[in-house]
Each structure stands twice: as structure tokens, then as C-alpha cells.
Amino acid sequence: MAISDSLDSSSIGGATTTTTTMSDSDRNLSLRKSQRPAAIRDANDVAELDNSATAVEASTESANSIARNGKMIGNGDNHAAGLDIKFAYRPSVPAHRRIKESPLSSDAIFKQSHAGLFNLCIVVLVAVNSRLIIENLMKYGWLIKTGFWFSSKSLSDWPLLMCCLTLPLFPLSAFLVEKLAQRNCLSDPVVVLLHVIITTAAILYPVFVILRCNSAFLSGVTLMLFACIVWLKLVSYAHTNYDMRALANSADKGDASSSSVNVDCSYDVSFKSLVYFMVAPTLCYQTSYPRTASVRKGWVVRQFVKLIIFTGVMGFIIEQYINPIVRNSQHPLKGNLLYAIERVLKLSVPNLYVWLCMFYCFFHLWLNILAELLRFGDREFYKDWWNAKTVEEYWRMWNMPVHKWMVRHIYFPCLRHGIPKGAALLIAFTVSAIFHELCIAVPCHIFKFWAFIGIMFQVPLVLITNYLQNRFRNSMVSFYFCHYPFNLIHGHYLIIKLIEIFS
């Protein structure tokens, strides 16, 4: 129709509208249409409107636009446009022609973008929390104290600093062992024994230093995390070199099985590769990694600014909200049960914010900054764990460096040695629980196996959520009703106990 031409050339609803003058052929066509019988005209209109679901709305908007900008159209054009408007939207034209679902119905909600609602939620979230922060500051004042994170003893934590600076000696020792093994100076059993000694010393040495020194909590946690990372990297370095050495020996002997596997059988011990691996944001050793072309300096600065901001937000929430709630609360397992539930639920929102800030700061900002500086190409440090339907999917997606290490050096080696899948999964969770306990118990100087029990309880949750997921197809009911409540209670209890220890 001729009105479609005016629609394409006009800015609907705008302050200014540009229209094109209709040609004589278009004007004659519209006049011929107006002289047709009403039934034919209506049938043609219905056919044209069926071709596009928005044609009626477009015609109406175009007509309004032409009416608003009538001064800009000549008399002849006004007459032609009036004819088009007259026959554009007849009362007899059906307004409902197809079966359609509402945008928020279950059948249509995932077939469209929700960017507008997401932006609205962000605006509401910022507004509500800004009001709560202002109200909290007006009511309680500035409650932030550095005693929990840093104390007067923090500057005297030089044994922990010296221990951290001497941790690179263990990778150097592992490199010397592998170099001797490459030159056939050591047999495989001796190499394995030396690596066991090196990795064990790499984890026990920091534990001994932290327990002997009355250090600040943050200093102990930092050193323990570094020690655990070094241990995981050393295990990967020793295991990978052992496997490459075995493949190289098989290839030298002409073993067909080794050549059929799509693996590089070249065995080369390089100090440069070890140094890059020890600082790279990965726990799995390999001789080469995918690399980017250059370093984006401006991008690194922006991410570092975000890291500082979100770290400050995390500390603010802990000191301004979580710590006062805990100080004014009773022991969660002693006293009124309803009171304990109310305290736990009151901690739920700030605890969630702290966890999200921690995840964003470490797994997104810090690891991406490190990867950009080192031009490390594989930056899949996490997947969309928020869409996980089971606990098993969640643990596979939220921490990809540890997951890849577990799969590569724990799970599949167990399967290759004939261990059942269930037992292999239990071994992997046991290793994870031990290191969670070390990172919590050692800096706190108290061993009560809170973190260990919390991680091991994930094993039955994996079984339960897998069963529920198979029972209720295409549903996340298992994850919502099992994983979130348990981790909510367990996380709150850990936070409460930590603050009780250092308050």
C-alpha cells in the first residue's frame, strides 16, 4: 500500500519527519483501490495485514505521523495521504488473526530478550541497596574496623612473608628432578618418590609456619592459598611429565597404541615452560598454551579499577553488616531455634553479596587480568554455573581450573586403574574437602572439620539432585531445594564461627 512508502520515509513519533512526494502512479493506484468494492478492498487489506503482524500498528503510527506533519505536505499529497488513511484500518478488518501467547507465559518467556527487565532489576537493586546503606550509616555510623583483616601483628608477620618468598624453591626442585629423569640419571620409582617428598613439603612447610606464628587471619589465608596452588601445580607438573615420559618411551619402542593417540609424545623439560606455568592462571601443566597477540593495557587498567572497587565493597559488607549481626547474636546451635533461623536468614542477603563479589573479583577480574598480562589465551575460568540443574553440574562449572585439574589428575586416572565412577567421584570430593579444610582451619588455628564436612556432604547431594533431575525432567527443582538451602546454612555457619574466633 502507498502508506507503507510514507512509513519507510518518515520518522514515526519523532520531532521532525521527512516524507517523500508520491508519484503519479502511486496516486493512481491508491485511487483505483478506493474505487473497488468494499468487500474486495477489505479482503485485500486482510491479506496484506496477514503478511506482517505489525502492519496495522505501522499504518496507524504512519497516519499519526502524517497528520502531525501535515504542514510539510502539499495539498495534492495531503489528498493522497488522506485516501490512504481512509482505507488503511477499516473497522471490519479483523484485529485478532492468530493464536499468540503472552510474553511472560511459560511457552514464550524463553523465546525473547529480557534485557529491559534485567536493566530495570539492576536499577531497582541499586536504588534499594543505596537506601539501605544510607539508613545503616545514619543509624549505626561507620563500623568498619581493620582488626579482623589486619592487626598490629600484621607488620610482624615476616615469617609468613619469608615462607611465601621461599615457595618457588619447590618448583625448582621439581624441575631438577625432571631434568635428571630426562637424562636417565634417575629411575621412575625414584622420580615418583622425590616428587612425593617435594609436594608434601610444599604443603606442610606453610602449615607449620602458620601454626607456629600468631599471625593475622588474612595473612594466613593468603599464604595457605598460595601453598595449595603451588601443591596443585607441582602435582600436575610431575604427573604430566611422567605421562609424557611414558609416551615417549612407548614411541621409541614402536608401540602402536601410543602413536594412535592424538597426543604430542615429545618429552622436553624446559625451565621457561615451568616458570610460565607457575605464574599462569591454570593448574594443568603443558609445554605450550594458546596465546593472544598482544596485551591490552587500557583494558587491564579498567579491570584493575573494578577489582579494587569490588574488593572494597566486599570488605564493607562484611564489616558493616555481617560482623555487627554476628556480634549481637547468640550461638546458632544454642538457644531458641526460631531466633537462630531468623539470624541465618538475616545474614542471607549480605552473605550472598559477599560470595558474588568474591567470585567476580577472583574468577573474572583477577584471573583475566593475569591472563591478559601473560597473554594466556584459554580464559574459560568458569561457565554458566547459575544455569546448573544439579549439584554435579554446578561443581563442574563454577571453578574450571580446579575442575580441569580434578578430571585430569584424579578422576580419569582412577577410572584407568579400574576404580568405579562412584568411588572416583568420592576420592575427588575428598581431596577437595581436605584443601578446603586446610584453607579455613590452619589460618584459624583450629581444626573442627567444618569445611571438610560441608564439602563431603556434597556427595549425597549429587546423588539426590541427579535423581530428582531424572524424576522431574527439564526442571531445576533439585538444585533449588537441595543445593542452595544446604550451602546457605553451611556458609552462614562458617562465617559466624570465623567472626566469633577473631572478635
Residue 86, number of CB atoms within 10 A of its CB? 12
Number of residues in the chain:
503
What ranges do the domains of the chain cover? 167-250+266-289, 292-380, 382-502
Query: Rounded to the nearest 5 degrees, what angle is found at the Cα of 263, between the Cα atoms of 259 and 267?
Result: 95
Cβ-proximal residues to 204 (8 Å cutoff; 6+ apart), any chain: none
C-alpha 424 chain-centroid distance: 26
CA distance 305 to 315: 16
Residue holding cell 584459554?
Answer: 378
Question: Tens place of pLDDT for every residue, the chain, 503 residues?
Answer: 433 333 333 333 333 333 334 444 444 444 444 444 443 344 444 444 344 444 444 444 444 444 444 444 444 545 555 556 666 667 777 778 888 888 777 777 777 777 888 888 889 888 888 888 888 788 777 777 665 555 555 556 678 888 888 999 999 999 999 999 888 888 889 999 999 999 999 999 999 888 888 777 778 888 899 999 999 999 999 999 998 888 887 776 766 554 545 555 567 788 999 999 999 999 999 988 999 999 999 999 999 999 999 988 888 888 888 877 777 766 655 667 777 777 777 778 888 888 889 999 999 999 999 999 999 989 999 998 888 778 888 888 888 999 999 999 999 999 998 899 889 989 998 999 898 888 888 888 877 787 888 888 888 888 887 777 777 765 555 555 555 555 555 555 555 555 454 44
Residue holding cell 631434568?
Answer: 179
CA distance 282 to 233: 8
pLDDT confidence of residue 240: 92
CA distance 495 to 361: 19
CA distance 171 to 230: 8
CA distance 414 to 123: 49
pLDDT confidence of residue 228: 92
List the end-to-end C-alpha distance of the chain, in Å, as a whole number.
77
Query: Rounded to the nearest 5 degrees, what angle is found at the Cα of 282, between the Cα atoms of 279 and 284?
Result: 115
Per-residue b/e over 237-272, b at no fewer than 16 CB within 10 Å? bbbbbbebbebbebbeeeeeebeeeeeebebebeee
Give catalytic residues, as residue numbers. Answer: 436
